[in-house]
Structure formats: structure tokens, C-alpha cells
Homo-oligomer: A and B are copies of this chain.
């Protein structure tokens, strides 16, 4: 048996970039983190240290900053598409470029209902992300949200599950449902209006979560994804990851106090980890 290189990739991660676009009456501020990853004809770089086909990751970084001036002007999806195409077009031995962009969200601060023209506050852990892959087969664009911390204080049950010798969990028709949701959806083309679609999908997810009568995290996850596909023709499929951030009723009974789902232990670990992809099926 011979030993050889299987899959490989290399690139630059965490290219942290901010940008100001000065509009007439306000400043637009954006902050992103870009990952570039290249695949292609790099076997001899790995096997014999031949760097003649290697575009250094330092140069990849410089390229992202240089192209941001002219080409990071609207959505992160559009900038990622531009970058992916740049690396594929300008490097003969690159057969696939993957660009990941995470946007750190900011909002202009409001005073008395008016947005300040150039003062911003960060919007926290929730991130807008995109992954663009360009190769010989074309381009694909995935967009998503990470760190979306959502919860509901009622409208969530969990009953009728399997019981075995290790079961201690009690059935409940009233529990807190909390998750830090990650949603990644694939567009069916690379030319939709990303700026318009992103908040639309986000809102669909929130609404489905809020109004769903939940019998399980699994069911709520599916309902959220289904609703996104129903309401957004441009979305081909969506994957959701919904860790169950448990809020466990604290046993106050032992101190002679009643706890009607009022006081909870908020725990980080262990946590339920529920995932699912909702897709469209061609009908014959």
C-alpha cells in the first residue's frame, strides 16, 4: 500500500476588517471577519514542499483588505461572491474557493427616537454569517444566523417519550424552551437580494418559534424550518441546530415552599443537542 494525500485545503482565517461608508447624512459602519480557504492542485506543496503554486495566506489577507474598498459595499454575501470569484479567476491551480464571512452587527444609537448619525452600539452575540463556495460546478451561497438566543416561558411540553430503567425525567406540559439557535440556509441561486432576504428569513424563524405549540424541540425545529421554506421561495433548504438550554425547576418543596414553575436553575452543561435539515423534495 502506498501513502498519499487525500483531501486538503489551506487559507487564512479571522481576517478582521471594519469599514466606514460615509453617506450624506450618516456614517455606515460594518465589521466582519473573513475566512479564505483554497483547494486545488497543491499536492506537491504537501508532498515535497514545492511552494510555486502556493498563494501565501498573508497575500490572501492583503487581498481581502484591498478588495474591500471597492467591493464590500452591500451584503456580506455579495462580497463573499466577489472574493470567491477573484481567487478562482486569478489562480490557475485553485479549483475551489470557500469564503466564510461573519458579520458583527451594530446599530446606530437612538436618542428620543432619532438615530445618531455616527454613534453605534454592538448588537451582541447574534452574528450574521455566509459561506460561498465556487468551483467548477458553479457557486453556492449559504446564509445564516449564529448565536440567536431565544426562549419562551410557556407553550412547550415534553411527554409520551420512551421510559427505561435509566429514566428519571418527569413528563411536563409546561416548561421553558430555550435555545441558542444556529440556522443556515442554502439559496437556490446566487443572485437573490440578500439584503432583503436575510431579515425576512430571520423574522420567519422568530415568529415560528414564538407561536409554535411545542411538543418537543425536534418538532419546533422542524416547524421553524418548514415555515422558512414555505415563505421564502429562494431558500432551497435550511439546517437548524438547537441546543436545549435547560432551565430546571429548583426543588423548593424540600424547604416547604411551592415552586409553580417560577424559580429555575439555569444550566449550561450538559445540554440537549437537536439538529435537523428541512428540504424541498421534487415531486414526480
Contacts and interface: CB of A to CB of B under 8 A. Distances in A.
Top 5 A-B pairs ranked by shortest CB distance? Answer: A124-B124, A49-B215, A122-B149, A119-B210, A6-B277
Interface string A149-190: 111111100111110111111000000100010000000000
B109 A206 contact: yes
B210 A109 contact: yes
A3 B150 contact: no
Contacts of A111: 203, 206-207, 210
Interface stretch (A75-83, A131-139, A192-200, A248-256): A248-256
A118 interface: yes
Given A6-B279, A15-B270, A120-B151, A257 B20 contact: no
Interface of A: 1-21, 27, 29, 31, 35, 37, 42, 45-59, 61-63, 65-66, 68-69, 90-91, 106, 109, 111, 116, 118-126, 148-155, 158-162, 164-169, 176, 180, 203, 206-207, 209-211, 214-219, 221-222, 226, 229-230, 237, 239, 243-244, 247, 250, 252, 254-255, 257, 259, 261-283
Given A1-B281, A4-B278, A118-B152, 16 more contacts: A2-B280, A3-B279, A10-B272, A13-B269, A14-B269, A18-B265, A20-B153, A35-B273, A45-B218, A56-B167, A57-B270, A62-B255, A119-B151, A119-B210, A120-B152, A125-B125
